[in-house]
Structure 1
Amino acid sequence: MLTACSSADDDDTSPDSSADGTEGSSGEVVELTFQSWVPNIDQAVDAFNAAHDDVNVTLETVTAGPDGGYATMQSAVQAGNPADVAQVGYDAIPDFLINDALEDITDYVGDSADVFADWQWQTGVFGDRVYAVPQASGPLGQFYRKDIFDELGLAYPETWDDYYEAAKAIRESDSDRYIAAFAFNQAPWMIGLAEQAGASWFSIEGEAWNVDIDSAETAKMADFWQRLIDEDLVKIVADFSNEWNADIQNGDIVTWISGSWADAILRGTAPDTAGSWAVGAMPQWDAGESVSATWGGGSASVVLKGSENPEEAAEFALWLNSDPESVSILTSVGAGWPAIADTSQIESLQEDPEVFDFYGGQDIWDVFAESDANVDTSWTWPPLSSTLFSSLTDNVKAAVDAGEPIADAYAQTETDMVDALEQRGISVNE
């Protein structure tokens, strides 16, 4: 876990299995269980089952995140009755590894690296072994109510300075209206903002981790949002809450910086606003730049330790995330930006009337394709990301509630992470 990710060694891999024609030696159909939180991902599972006679996959829906599905997955591994395949975030893979909860699937998928975008593939590679098949990234963009911007005569905010001016105009236009929510409950959102500001919180040097959460880049971002909070230009509300959902529907929250998968959430949460939304790139710190980031990196399919059929499970994970029909379904239902390197064959990226019509005819995938290409792929997720997420949200909420600078919350989070890593026996550079 202390070594940097590296490509799988071809000498240690065997040709990828196809999972498309042979039954087990007993001639019986192999039964697999797949855990995921993505709405409507059952469509991709059904497509797999329809195309395979030898393997049948049953979907179990779990809650996303460390307090939901991840806890369930790891408890099942410890109890000896895990699901076979599970969806986990890129940020969580190190956590699962240090808890010995993942199967090494190098022998089954190790020669498939070229199928995927290199940086996404590498999120599941440690040393020369493969522990995950990447599914999709979450490149950030800004969903915004174009009708309200047009009504107020506002140009799209290309920079954060523009964003601040737009925030003032939007706030002045209606006593209930805000440019955005300050989502203190979403660590991946706050981390993505820091990443886009140029921060690099974790890196490996020698045999130890560097932790630099309380950096100048983070402080720049935190101070900007502090100004918005102090001037009552953003609403302090947890996103995905009932209040937030209502604000999205009635136009009291006008923008949402989120991952590409958020498209499906908007369409499901606020169907009556169809035609009112558009998507743009994240505002930039310096005019003319095109720096992007991700919401939690993205997610992958892993084979949980103790699966009775790890080969078939790995083959399903590979098919799910690389078969063009499956990837097209995943994109359409909101799984994120495809991890495969060649997206030209993905039908839903070329033409998706349901999606495009919701955004007034805009092909929003052009925005996210550019965003994904501009992500800082050197960002490294540490062990104990669940500790990082909980510490950050707790500290930021406490700062906001107390009227204290949120920059202090990031400093406290650095202290918390260093302590947590050292308590687990993981070396940290001073």
Structure 2
Amino acid sequence: MSAHGPDRRTVLGGAAAVAAGLALAGCGDSDDSGGEPAGRKKGEKVTLTFWSWVPGIDKPVQLWNSKNPSVQIKLEKVSAVNGAQYAKMHAAIKAGNPPDLGQIEYPVVPSFLLDNGLLDLTKYGAADVKGKFEGWQWQQSVFGKAVFAIPQASGPMGLFVRQDLFDKWGVETPQTWDEYEAAAKAIRKKGAWIETFSATNGNRFAGFAWQTGARWFGVDGETWTVTIDDEPTQRVADYWESLVKQKLIKTIPDRQNAWYKDVQTGDIAAWVGASWGDALLVGNAPKTAGKWRVAPLPQWKKGDNAAANWGGSTTSVFRGTKYPKDAMAFAVWLNTDPESIKLLIDGGYGWPSARSGWTNADMEGQRDFFGGQKYSEVFEAAGKAVDTSWQWGPAMDTLYQRLGDAFTEALSSGGSFRSVLTKVQKQTVDDLRAKGLKVETG
């Protein structure tokens, strides 16, 4: 992707950028000597380790094991709290004993390229399976000509609404962000809140920026471009800061106990979430069954169709595996086999990356909770409208932590949200420089 004009502010250049993923195609061998591992011998039985936190992942693993006695998967559940799973994976890479496979979210893939921790799958048949997956999700793990992960799921965004409360209060479901603000004012007058701004939820903030046309990272030749504080992101920051300062929304963390309580009682009447949010609401607000609906993400201009993604992950093969072909075969099977996909859907893993093997109806196991609405249609349309030119950069896990700290400070001190972006822009450059990346400012 080329640079995006005058908003470009910082360039990460030189050989370090290449090491970060621009030309890793020749660095994907599985052993330190640079040669390929011998792989599994005929008749040999092997066990591959797989670290994951995906709900219900044990069931498709059990299915694979029942069908593949020669290649058994040993599943280890890892904690996804505050990035604990990635800290463990990075530590294992540095210690020289990573698992064979791991669950890695799209934004975090580049971080593992800095460790040279993932296997380039091109020599193991990646081109042959590319067509099985949605193109933009496949591209999330492609750097140069190298492919570093198999897509599993995404999280197209939408607006979850307590339709009963909106109807009771005479509030229309907002189609634009201006209408969303108006709805927030109307709901506040009723003693409730439309939403919360969760300071520590950098993933969702990135989704808002994505929808607005931001480009936090890009690749220009052999350099990374970094613009965390570009104009679209400033627009997002200004909008949510305005809602906070007008006291139209809460500022508690979402998806934690206090938030779940507000959702159950109706103190919070809506949530900008992702496709996987249906399972969260069902599991944590059971008494609100039948009262929810899903609407498209509000637009900046009425009639526009700009969508975004929040979440989604891959099944990655680590560079240390002795059995790359078998590891990749499992990764592909896990995310394309219809039986496996059904089990993953039942577990609430997200919106499937596979182009076939499932239907919209499969995604509506919670239809009764949403008053019979065919709500998967909203997320299907959102998935098709996602801006596919968005690209993740190195050290996103650190970037999210930086955003969370800075937004939390701004909320407590009354500082501006734009100052958060300025601060995190500088911190991101400093963080990448500390990892050995060359930084040039323009």
TM-score by length of 2: 0.88
Query: Following TM superposition, by how much is the alpha carbon of 1:302 offset from its aligned partner in structure 2, in angstroms?
Result: 0.5
Report the equivalent of 2:293. 278
Check if 1:346 corresponds to 2:358. Answer: yes
Task: Work out which of the residue numbers 239, 263, 271 in structure 1 matches 2:278.
Answer: 263
Check if 1:159 corresponds to 2:176. Answer: yes
Query: Following TM superposition, by how much is the alpha carbon of 1:8 offset from its aligned partner in structure 2, in angstroms?
Result: 12
1:61-91 Cα offsets, whole Å, 9 max, x none, are 1122663100111212222322221110111
Query: Following TM superposition, by how much is the alpha carbon of 1:40 offset from its aligned partner in structure 2, in angstroms?
Result: 1.4
Report the equivalent of 2:115. 99
8 Å Cα contact 1:92-1:385 kept in structure 2: yes
Task: Work out which of the residue numbers 372, 377, 380 in structure 1 matches 2:391.
Answer: 380
Report the equivalent of 1:15. none
Bigger relative contact order (CA 8 A; separation at least 6):
2
Counterpart AA for 1:228: L
Task: Work out which of the residue numbers 99, 104, 126 in structure 1 matches 2:143.
Answer: 126
Report the equivalent of 2:413. 402
Q: How does 1:74-89 map to 2 (within 5 A)?
A: 74-89=90-105
Report the equivalent of 1:319. 333
CA distance in 2, matches of 1:202, 1:354: 36
> CA RMSD of the aligned region, Å?
2.3
8 Å Cα contact 1:6-1:122 kept in structure 2: no
Report the equivalent of 2:134. 117
Report the equivalent of 2:12. none
Task: Work out which of the residue numbers 263, 282, 301 in structure 2 matches 1:248.
Answer: 263
Report the equivalent of 2:305. 290
8 Å Cα contact 2:134-2:354 kept in structure 1: yes
Report the equivalent of 1:210. 225
Q: How does 1:362-381 map to 2 (within 5 A)?
A: 362-381=373-392
TM-score by length of 1: 0.90
Check if 1:73 corresponds to 2:89. Answer: yes
Check if 1:393 corresponds to 2:410. Answer: no
Distance 1:206 1:215, change over 3 A: same
CA distance in 2, matches of 1:33, 1:364: 36
8 Å Cα contact 1:5-1:122 kept in structure 2: no
Unaligned runs of 5+ in 1: 13-22
Report the equivalent of 1:19. none
Corresponding residue SS for 1:300: strand
Check if 1:42 corresponds to 2:54. Answer: no
Corresponding residue SS for 2:83: coil
CA distance in 1, matches of 2:380, 2:328: 27
Corresponding residue SS for 1:307: coil
CA distance in 2, matches of 1:364, 1:59: 32
Moved more, 226-235 or 121-130: 121-130
Corresponding residue SS for 1:235: coil
Counterpart AA for 1:32: L
Report the equivalent of 1:201. 216
Corresponding residue SS for 2:428: helix
Distance 1:352 1:419, change over 3 A: closer
Corresponding residue SS for 1:142: strand
Counterpart AA for 2:251: I
Report the equivalent of 2:425. 414
What is the percentage of aligned positions where both structures have the same residue? 41
Query: Following TM superposition, by how much is the alpha carbon of 1:312 offset from its aligned partner in structure 2, in angstroms?
Result: 1.4
8 Å Cα contact 1:109-1:315 kept in structure 2: no
Task: Work out which of the residue numbers 186, 193, 201 in structure 2 matches 1:178.
Answer: 193
Moved more, 70-79 or 324-333: 324-333
Distance 1:136 1:146, change over 3 A: same
Corresponding residue SS for 1:358: helix
Query: Following TM superposition, by how much is the alpha carbon of 1:263 offset from its aligned partner in structure 2, in angstroms?
Result: 1.5
Distance 1:6 1:139, change over 3 A: farther
8 Å Cα contact 1:167-1:233 kept in structure 2: yes
Moved more, 56-65 or 84-93: 56-65
Distance 1:249 1:392, change over 3 A: same
1:291-350 Cα offsets, whole Å, 9 max, x none, are 011114x210001232232221111111011112212322332222111233xx405x32
Corresponding residue SS for 1:119: helix
